Amino acid sequence: MPAVCFYFQVHQPYRLRQITPFEVGTHPDYFDSLNEEVCRKVAEKCYLPTNAIFLEHLKKYPDFRISYSISGITLEQFERWTPEVLKSFQDLAATGRVEFLGETYYHSLASLFDGREFRQQVAAHTAVIQKYFGQTPTTFRNTELIYSDGIADMVSEMGFKAMLSEGVDRVLGWRSPNVVYETATTKPMALLLKNYRLSDDIAFRFSARDWSAWPLGADTFAHWLHSLDGSAETINLFMDYETFGEHQWAETGIFEFLKALPEAVYRNPQFSFQTPSVLASDFPRHGSLSIPQAISWADSERDLSAWLGNAMQDDAITKLYSLHDLVMSKNNTALLHEWRLLQTSDHFYYLCTKYWSDGDVHKYFSSFESPHHAYMAFTNVLTDFIMKLEGTSQAAAAPTKPHRGIPAGRVHRKV
Amino acid sequence: MLGWELAPYNTGGLGVASLGLTQALAPMVRDIHFFLPDYTGSDSVFSHMNVIGAAGASGVTAPSLLPTSYSDFSSVTHEHSRKALHHGPAAFSSWYAQASVATSNQIHGKTSPEIIHAHDWMTYEAAQRVQDTTTSTPFVAHIHATEFDRAGGSEGHPAIHAIEQAGLTAADKVIAVSGYTAQIVNERYKIPSHKIAVIHNGVDQSQKPLPTSSFPLKGKHPVVLFIGRVTTMKGPEHFLRAAATVHASCPQARFLFCGSGDLEARTKELAAQLGLTGSIIFSPFLRGSDVQKAYAMADVVVIPSRSEPFGLVAVEAIQQGTPIVLTKQSGAAEVLPTVAQADHWDEALLAKHILTLISEPEVARAQVASAQKALTYLSWERAAKQVRDVYDELLHGAPVLNLAS
């Protein structure tokens, strides 16, 4: 009775702008007007058409299920610029067969740096999911599927029942990603691991003309899934939602693939589509898996090296988190929000200099010419932000444009 | 005159000096025909002379070598340098020589120029070839920067060095922009001292200091500025290491690092390694009024060059009223003997000077006052007269006094 478990990551960062030396101290807007442009473009190319396809599937197949994780700052952007996208996700939620996962509101790396911050950002995200979708997340997916026993401990303490991560070979060894495991935490949770080969066939290889399986049809892909019947209990297909129509353009046939997929999968009546929470409650667990060292779904290393490791990344993030006490002492919601917007993992991803491994992927996602340009944007903004905190900028403690949709009360509350 | 760049179409001090010198010199000579590798515009700022793009005028185009217009001048001049190096300095140099000869023939017809005055290595071969077409026109090699400077004191590019050596040797007179450069020309290129004239650059004396009150950083944080090309020659890493020392004892200090160049990436990584993130502001190459704004915003300007023929930044900062720390390996140190100086490798002393200037306003004010007094000597008119003297000496065997009046 193998299940196909789809989880899609929906995320758009607030990309930083290059502020000039003459703007430092004048509390300029840190964020690029590009953000609105990207949000609108991706809405049109990806979110709206893909949501429409999934809504059709949910109407047509009574036990079809999918799950999403949408970062809080992405929901903010939808509300500001593309409320129709928010509405279309709400329509999906209304079917009752779409699960929304928990994550940090700011898509941050707080789990690695500051437990207090991490818990508060998760609580803020839970609040916003409740607000928009009327659900309380019970499954957690940390930023970029970053996972370790220590992080899982914090997550289980917060009451989550399941957690997602990457099916990293060096962790799994002989074991299969295609069953449900249990976390090695005081309060055990279900642990679901991504089948990265099959996920990446869609997310990365779909349009690769030098790939032997190109062009990939829904029948072929369903056949690959069916061939796991007997060994797999769940096939976890985790990917960026932007795969559909944005990373893989409409011209590649990705939408036709998606439209045809459920029918092709259902041709083997043993197969079903499930959400993580169903897997967590109904599926057997195949032992506990201890993962002491942090893993993630990024780059071929599948570790933290996409965000941390070079001097620019390490100094930027250390300086940012060192401001914790000062930020808290200000008791200023807008400043706190701004500090947390600077924590979004993408800012550190853009600083990555691993050109030899996944440099082209980093470059694709970055709006900056180079990691060094991204560093310039970050240190200039951080210099201004510190001045704001220290009250040495022109209008002390005046925040940049406040953003709507912040559950302010929840951000402050200790969980 | 054979040039490479001309402000505002410039990436460095050469373009500024070429404009300042020609503006002051124009009334003292008959005509100036100023060659650039490529120029098709008609800017009014060049109305004192005839600016000619050799690529277009000669018909000796090298499309793979040169861009077609100066429409985006900052990237174009950068492109020049990049392409010149990519194709090899020798290839560029001989193309420019060929184009210049054709252009010169077009302008002068059967007559000859009276003086051939060439600015830096890119133009020396051109000057020699143009000289070959004349019977006895003297060739003046003006040296604004040597390959030793650009390479930060090492040998540098052998082909460029060879072109420099040939040009300086062939020249009838060498004008060095400082005693420091004259010494390099003498010691490293074996040019006899009597063939070298030291003529310090002028500075635009009309520059009025900007009010400093409008900058939000001012008065809240001491601001320490680096401004210049981010290359080995300019010593950006000395600035950053000194900055780290300053940061340690004065965490309120902010560092402003302005410039573009081949060490840009490395300097950003070094700044992060030194823990300066959040205390350092980066900016690409600034031009126009932004340069002066940067001086005005700063409490101290550091010129950490490993080898600096003159160093216009020092002068411009003093004009703005901002104190400076200067390396001894610089021509400006000759004309500003009272400013804070250190050897470029002595990052501890650089840091000490910076700390003194940001913490003791009296010292800073005194330094600026005495340096400003010294600057009155540095007019472009004085430089132009000295250049005119060199011409007269070449043409008549001795300077002709008061020729301009």
Give, for B94, the enclosing helix (H) or strand (E): helix B89-108
The two tokens of residue B247 are: 């940061």
User: Cβ(A7)–Cβ(A236) under 8 Å?
Assistant: yes
In a domain, A139, yes or no: yes
What φ, ψ does residue A371 adopt, rounded to 5°? Answer: -60, -30
- Model pTM score: 0.86
Q: Are residues A96 and A221 in the same domain?
A: yes
Q: Are residues A237 and A349 in the same domain?
A: no
- Give the pLDDT of residue B269: 98
In a domain, A244, yes or no: yes
Q: Are residues A271 and A398 in the same domain?
A: no
In whole angstroms, what is the distance from residue A291 CA to residue A214 CA? 35
pLDDT bucket at B37, cuts 50 / 70 / 90 = confident
Residue B290 Cα, gap to closest chain A Cα (Å): 9
User: Cβ(B1)–Cβ(B32) under 8 Å?
Assistant: yes
Tell me which chain A residue has its CA closest to the CA of residue B260: A373
Q: Are residues A202 and A80 in the same domain?
A: yes
Q: Are residues A315 and A364 in the same domain?
A: yes
Q: Are residues A198 and A338 in the same domain?
A: no
Angle at Cα B188 formed by Cα B186 and Cα B190, nearest 5°? 50
In a domain, A299, yes or no: no
For this structure, is A338 an active site residue?
no
Q: Which domains does chain B have, with CATH numbers?
A: 13-202+379-396 (3.40.50.2000), 223-375 (3.40.50.2000)
Residue A259 Cα distances to A55, A204, A215, B32, angstroms: 11, 19, 16, 74
Catalytic pick among A76, A144, A166, A338:
A144
Would the pLDDT of B63 be above 60? no
- pLDDT (average), residues B223-227: 98
Percent pLDDT > 70 in chain A is: 94
In whole angstroms, what is the distance from residue A388 CA to residue A397 CA? 5
In whole angstroms, what is the distance from residue B6 CA to residue B18 CA? 6
Would the pLDDT of A266 be above 60? yes
In a domain, A211, yes or no: yes
Angle at Cα A347 formed by Cα A344 and Cα A353, nearest 5°? 140
- Give the pLDDT of residue A392: 77
Residue B61 Cα distances to A12, B78, B117, angstroms: 48, 19, 23
Q: Are residues A279 and A344 in the same domain?
A: no
Give, for B327, the enclosing helix (H) or strand (E): strand B324-327
pLDDT tens digits, one per residue of A61-70: 999 999 999 9
What single letter denotes the amino acid at residue A169? Answer: D
Residue B56 Cα, gap to closest chain A Cα (Å): 33
pLDDT tens digits, one per residue of B165-224: 999 999 999 999 999 999 999 999 999 999 999 999 988 888 789 887 778 888 889 999
Q: Are residues A280 and A318 in the same domain?
A: no
pLDDT bucket at A414, cuts 50 / 70 / 90 = very low
B297: left (phi over 0), alpha (psi -120 to 50) or beta: alpha
Domain count, chain A: 2
Full domain range(s) for residue A197: 3-289
pLDDT tens digits, one per residue of B358-386: 999 999 999 999 999 999 888 999 999 99
Would the pLDDT of B69 be above 70? no
Q: Are residues A352 and A208 in the same domain?
A: no
In a domain, A301, yes or no: no
Q: Are residues A249 and A358 in the same domain?
A: no
* Burial classification of residue B114, based on how many CB atoms lie within 10 Å of its CB (0-12 exposed, 13-18 middle, 19 or more buried): middle
Instruction: Tell me which residue has tokens 């400043």.
Output: A335
CATH number for A155: 3.20.110.20
Across the interface, whether the CB atoms of B217 and A20 are under 8 A apart is answered no
Residue B278 Cα, gap to closest chain A Cα (Å): 4
Instruction: Quote helix, strand, coil % in chain A, to nearest 5.
Output: 50, 15, 35
Chain B residue numbers with beta carbons less than 8 Å from the beta carbon of A20 are 283
- Give the pLDDT of residue B243: 98
- pLDDT (average), residues A368-396: 90
In a domain, A88, yes or no: yes
In a domain, A304, yes or no: no
- pLDDT (average), residues A369-377: 96
- Give the pLDDT of residue A399: 47
> Which of A235, A255, A289 is the endpoint of a domain?
A289
Q: Are residues A23 and A111 in the same domain?
A: yes
- pLDDT (average), residues A254-266: 98
Would the pLDDT of B293 be above 50? yes
- CA B215 from chain centre, in angstroms, equals 28
What ranges make up the beta strands (E) of B57-151? 116-119, 139-143
- Give the pLDDT of residue A362: 78
Beta bridge partners of A7: A67, A238
Tell me which chain B residue has its CA closest to the CA of residue A314: B272
Q: Are residues A343 and A199 in the same domain?
A: no
- Give the pLDDT of residue B72: 37
Chain A residue numbers with beta carbons less than 8 Å from the beta carbon of B273 are 311, 315
pLDDT tens digits, one per residue of A290-337: 999 999 999 889 999 999 999 999 999 999 999 999 999 999 999 999
In a domain, A151, yes or no: yes
In whole angstroms, what is the distance from residue B374 CA to residue B315 CA? 10
